[in-house]
Amino acid sequence: MTYAYMLRPKEQTFITESYVSTPPALWIHDERGDVFTLGTRFEQERDAPNGEFSFDVLRNGIYAGIFASRIERRNGKVRAWTRQGWRTWSGSQFI
């Protein structure tokens, strides 16, 4: 299910500051105007970091290809904490 807050705004008025993490923040905005947020589908076993829940990562309301327990913006980059460790957004996918 896609909600309005998951979508790219018509006009972006800000970029999320460095060292902001979701949760507790609801979303992360990058320089391109993309919105990253955690979705509503979750995994506890297969894709989750040990001892944590992980949720599908959405970019502009569309599944970005990974499950993560946290998304953060650090040093101008968006990254997600997954079972394999930190994965960084390359502009087209998390690597």
Q: So what's the pLDDT on residue 38?
A: 94
Is residue 34 within 8 A of residue 69, CB to CB? The reply is no
pLDDT in tens, 23-80: 888 899 888 889 999 999 887 766 677 778 889 999 999 999 999 999 999 988 999 9
Is residue 88 within 8 A of residue 64, CB to CB? The reply is no
DSSP string across 5-70: GGSPPSS----PPTTEEETTSS-EE-TT--EEEEEEEEESSSSSPTTS-EEEEEETTEEEEEEESE
Q: So what's the pLDDT on residue 42?
A: 84
The domain ranges of the chain are: 4-88
pLDDT band at 12 (very low <50, low <70, confident <90, very high): low
Q: So what's the pLDDT on residue 53?
A: 86
Q: What is the pTM of this model?
A: 0.81
pLDDT band at 90 (very low <50, low <70, confident <90, very high): very high
Cα–Cα dist 7/86, whole Å: 24
